[in-house]
Structures are given as C-alpha cells and as structure tokens.
Chain A
Amino acid sequence: MNNNNKIFQFKLVLLGEAAVGKSSLVLRFVRGHFLDYQESTIGAAFLAQTVCLNDTTVKFEIWDTAGQERYHTLAPMYYRGAQAAIVVYDIRSEDSFERAIKWVKELQRQGSPNIVIALAGNKLDLAAKRKVETAEAQQYAEENGLLFMETSAKTSQNVNELFVEIAKKLPKTPTTRPGSGRGVQINPIDNGAPKKKCCN
C-alpha cells in the first residue's frame, strides 16, 4: 500500500528564549506575513498548516509557546506527545543559543522518544550583528542529531524549507506510539465516519 492521498498529522512545538522570533517564524510559515514588531506571546498559540510532499501531505499542528521565563513550567504540556520541535535562537545572541541548548537537552530527556528536533538560528537578515557562528551551531546540531537551518522570518529565507525538512524526516508509518494521542494517520476517505465527541 503506498502513501498516496494520505494525510499525516503531527504535533510540532516551538521553544526558545523570548524575542528570538518563534511567533514570527510560525506566522511566516502559516500566514505568509511578517510584522516588524511582533508582540510577545502570552501562554501559547495554536495554529495548523499543511506541507505537501511528493506523495504525502503532512499536517502540522503547531504550538507556538511563549518564551518568557514565567511560562517555562507549562512547556512540558506542549512538548509532551509532540513528534517534532523547533528550538529557536537569535543568531545575534549567545545567551539565546545557550538557552536553545538547554531546551534541546530538556527535549532529549523528557520529550517523546523519537522526537524530530530542528535547531533554527533566526534573524539571518541581521547577520551583520551575528554572535553565534554557523559552524558552531552546525557542529552542535550534528553531534546531537538535530536538523539545522539558519532562517529569517523577515525575508522568509529557509522558513518553508525548515518545515519541509522536518516533514520529510518524520516517520510516515501509522503511529501507534502509546500516549501520543495525536500525530495519527488520517485517511480522508474516512472523513464521513462520525467523529467522537469530547463531551455531552
């Protein structure tokens, strides 16, 4: 059985320090626009977007989390059961890169066992003020088995590419991972089946 007409749904979470551009990346990817002054996210925002690969369609359910420290305790709620994560830092800030490394460690320790993690060095349009070298981040990503890209939500450079790479890397087999709940294969032909209601 090939994967034609198959839609795979995956939960993806964005993590990273405040003001590195998580929301900007998501809005560039989902809505195709960019705001010079994107306001701070409070709590978390939930958006969906699909990526079409050659023979399959991947639907991302995206959790864009707030970077402020006070929301850190809530993060596990969002990365639990996530099949993919994008950890974002600002290439102009060493601190944000170190914070990103901490997020990667937390994900490796407590995230789903096969989680696909991508490291994104954002604000590539401001490379003149770069503090984190590409090679350094690249090497860290390779050592830890992460996807790595430098992105610019402003110019949209590498934004779609990043999500497509993640989509490619995600396993396209019907997932039976216990507890994941989401991230399941949906057959569009079955859409007529009554959906189970959560209440009433």
Chain B
Amino acid sequence: MEDTKIAENKTTTTTTTMTNNDSNSSSNSEIDNSVDNLGGGDIEDLSNYILSKIDESSTATGRPARKYSEQDTSTPEWFDHKKHFFILSFSGKPIYSRYGDEVALNTFMASLSAMSSFVESSNDELRYITAGNYQFVFIQKNPLNLVCIANTGEPYQMIKQQLEYIHALIISVLTQSNIKAVFEAKYDLRDLLGGTDKYLDNFIHQTNSDFSILLNSVNCLRLNNNIRNSITNILSNRKCDSLLFSYLISGNKLISSVKHKKTPSLKSQDIHIVMNYVLSTSSFRESESWIPICLPNYNNTGFLHLYICYLYADVCLLLFSNQAESFYQLSEIKTMISKDLEQESIVDELNRSVALHDYTTSFTDVPNLLHFLYKNRSSNYSTYPIFSPPYSIHKKEKKRLFRLYQHIINHVNNSSNKPHKYYYHTSATETIIVAISNHHELYATFSPLETKKNVFESFTLLLQWITKDNSIIIQ
C-alpha cells in the first residue's frame, strides 16, 4: 500500500506508513446494574437503559460459524476477497468486518482509522484512496467510520452509496441517538449489535447485486392492474389510529403499499432495510412478529414498531405503527385483510403472479433487446427483466453487466454537468442507450453489433411498451 494518494481533497498527502496507533483503548469494563427498575418498558428509555445494563455479553452458542470467520491479515486468503467492508469507531475500535473476525483485525482497522484521522487533523475529510487496483472508500458518520476496500473497479459514488446503505442498516437496529449515547459512555457497540452480522452480510450482498438498490428504487411485482388496485383498496380500508403504513411484499418486490397518515412516504433505502430483514429471517414464516425498527430516512432518532406476518408462502404483510402496544390491533387488521383478499378472490391471482413474476426481454417483443432497467423517477419504482443469454449463462457475465450499469448510472447521474438526457455507450461487448427525463430513467442493452438505427427503433418500442403495460410497475 505504498504510494497511496488521497484524492478529491484539498490535501494531497502521500501516506507511506500506517502505524498501529493505540486508539483501541475504549474501556469495556463491567457496569453495575444500577438501574434495574423499568418504568413502562418505554422504548424511548432505551439509551439510558442500555448504558446501565451492558454487562452480559451473550454467549452465542449453537449458531453456525460465520463464513470466513477464521481468516485475518495473517491468512493469504483474506487478501483474495475482492471487496471488504469494515465498520469501526472513530477511535479505531473494530465493530464489523465482512470477512474475518473483527477482533483479529484490530490492528488493520486501527490503520484505517489512522488514515482517516490523519486527514481529519487538517480539518478535511478523507473520501477515498487509490492504491494500484484497490480503492479505499471512507465515509465518516459520527461516531462511526465505514470503509470499503475493493478492486472491483466500481465508481467511487457507487461504493459510497453502498456504505451509506450499510450505515443506515446499523441505525435501523439502534437509532442514531442510541449509537451516539453508547459511544459517549465508551461502551462496546458490538454487545448491542448481537445477531446483526447476518443482516449486514446479506445487505452487503444485496447492494452488490440488486438492480433496484442500484437505481435507488423499489422493484414492483408484476401484477394485473385491477388486482393491484383491489389490494390497495383493501389495505387502505383496514386501518387503526397507530397504523402509519401498510405494505404487502413478495421477497424484495413490492405488491402494494398504503400511507395512512399525513406523514412523509418511506424512502427506497428504508424499504430495502425492511426487506433485508424479512428476506434474512426465515423464522418470520413461523409466527407473527413484532419488531422495533428505526427507519433512518423517516426518523433516525426513534423506533417504529413493525408487525410482520406471512399471509401466503411468499406474500408478506408489513404494518408500521408508532405505538409499541398496538400489536393485537394490527394482528386483527391482518386477519381482516386476509379475509378481504379471500372474499374478493384475489388470492389465487396474486399467488399466480408471485410465481410468474420473472420475465425475460422476449416478453416485451422488442427486437434485439438484451436487457434493460427502468425506473419511474416520481414514484421511485423500478422494473427489469431477469437475465437471458448471453448473461444468464455465466455468473461472471451477470456481474460484468451489473458493473457496467454502475459506471453508466454514475456517468449519467453524477457527472459534473447536469444529468445527461441521453447517453449512448458502445464497447466491445454491448451497446447501452440511456434516456433520462423528469419522469423516468431507462437503460437498455443491445449487442455491440447492432446498428444505431435498430437500437433507436427498439428503444422507442421499449419505452412505448413500458408505458402501455400497466402490470409491470405500480401505476
């Protein structure tokens, strides 16, 4: 890691040494149980309570060992991973590593912390370092440092966005206020994040492969418009005082959603956080669940209460409430929604659509089309086909197309000028044409051998098809 350059910064310093600083000194001492009395179990008391209560670290027995947990900087395999993610405190205390045990990576993380505090000491912010094929991307979210080290060739903005998603997930577990409180009291955040590794691992994987996250959007289940409207009506009719939002999802696809109060809508990032919990927790299928969750874009200082129940094999109902005590009310609402769906004979049609959601480009009847991504910019809903040949044959090809889209999306949206309205990219492997308007973004992929005329014609057809087909995206 010699010869590193600190880029995009007023400072252009060359760091050659990264000594292990002694910043790993946060105390982790036993705390006595001075506060044993709990008033009403009010979740707002959480921070106070946490501070007085961190004394038992759970013995995580009986859980499977995490993949790669035995690796660290002493094992050559650790360096083979293409994309590392680290979460550490401002003082360099390790909190999470995507690969390897974070405690064994203590020294390494302290070095990362030294890099960012070196730049910070001159009142600046370290954004990224390029070292050979590797890019070190940093984001500072007081009191947390998040770092990604990757040789994937992804644009800086894209990695930064992924780090922000990861940070948002941490907030969703504890709230920003609680994280700060924990650090001010010098406690070990890891004690409070027990069991969260799995969600972080999965979310990192999602941010690295999910087109709807790439587009900062929510993917819609393909569903007949009339059926969808009926479902939306049912959801909006069944409400109670504490109910803020009702969502019906299938995996990470949205079926329908309703906002019951005059309150801001949920942002795509928050919805992805919730979907990640649902996708990562198979036990939600066994029961009704009731979880406190902080949605960072909605309110990063407090919790909402989320009722989760699967209505059918792959259809999950999510009810967001602002009252911790509203479980039984929401459970009754679930029963009524379930009955309504049955009475209106929607169930079969819905389950059929869930099974038949995936479509390929041939479904569009647009000639020569290899793949596309579509996002409605006003609703932030998106749709895209599954991979077909040549991409479906090799995993590598899928990844390559994903990475190419990352670059193009970055070019189009993050260029120093205004966002481009049209963009035409041709390489040895594909041609991608992009149109951006206030209303939508469309990225369409063709063979590189296709003539421009054919590409434009197909592109126009595709746009017409998307606007005409009212099942593909929530209208």
Contacts and interface: CB of A to CB of B under 8 A. Distances in A.
Interface in A22-72: 23, 27, 31, 37-47, 64, 66-72
B62 A69 contact: no
Contacts of A31: 286
B58 A69 contact: yes
A95 B56 contact: yes
A37 B290 contact: no
A67 to B, nearest CB: 7
Given A42-B277, A72-B49, A75-B41, A17 B62 contact: no
B173 interface: yes
Interface of A: 17-19, 21, 23, 27, 31, 37-47, 64, 66-77, 80, 90, 92-93, 95-96, 99, 106, 110, 123, 182, 197-200
Contact of B56 (A44, A77, A80, A99): A99
Contacts of B333: 198-199
Nearest to B62: A19
B27 interface: no
B281 A64 contact: no
Residue of A45, A90, A123 ringed by the most chain B CB atoms within 10 A = A45
Contacts of A46: 287-290, 327, 331
A76 B37 CA distance: 11
B174 interface: yes
B191 A73 contact: no
Contacts of A93: 59, 61
A44 B290 contact: yes
A18 B283 contact: no
A37 B62 contact: yes
Contacts of B49: 72-73
Given A73-B41, A73-B46, A198-B328, A68 B241 contact: no
Nearest to B336: A197
A18 B58 contact: yes
A106 to B, nearest CB: 7
A77 B38 CA distance: 11
A77 B283 contact: no
Given A19-B58, A39-B195, A46-B327, 13 more contacts: A17-B58, A37-B63, A40-B195, A43-B290, A68-B195, A69-B56, A69-B191, A70-B46, A72-B53, A73-B45, A90-B61, A95-B56, A198-B332
A45 B58 contact: no
20 contacts: A18-B194, A21-B62, A31-B286, A37-B64, A38-B62, A39-B63, A39-B281, A39-B283, A40-B194, A40-B198, A46-B288, A64-B287, A68-B194, A68-B195, A69-B53, A69-B56, A72-B49, A73-B46, A76-B38, A199-B241
A182 B328 CA distance: 10
Contacts of B292: 43, 71, 74
B192 interface: yes
Nearest to B324: A77
A70 B324 contact: no
B18 interface: no
B38 A110 contact: yes
B63 A40 contact: yes
B174 A18 contact: no
A41 B289 CA distance: 9
Contacts of B45: 73
A92 B62 CA distance: 11
B265 to A, nearest CB: 22
Given A39-B281, A42-B195, A68-B194, A18 B60 contact: yes
Given A17-B58, A77-B325, A43 B289 contact: yes
Interface string B324-352: 11011101110000000000000000000
Given A31-B286, A43-B291, A44-B289, A74 B63 contact: no
For A44, A76, A199, the residue with the greatest tally of chain B CB atoms inside 10 Å of its CB is: A199
B304 to A, nearest CB: 11
Interface string B271-293: 00000010001110011111110
A110 B290 CA distance: 22
B328 A17 contact: no
B115 interface: no
**8 nearest CB pairs, A to B:** A43-B291, A76-B41, A40-B195, A18-B58, A199-B240, A45-B287, A198-B329, A46-B288
A23 B41 CA distance: 22
A118 B352 CA distance: 46
B50 interface: yes
A123 B59 CA distance: 14
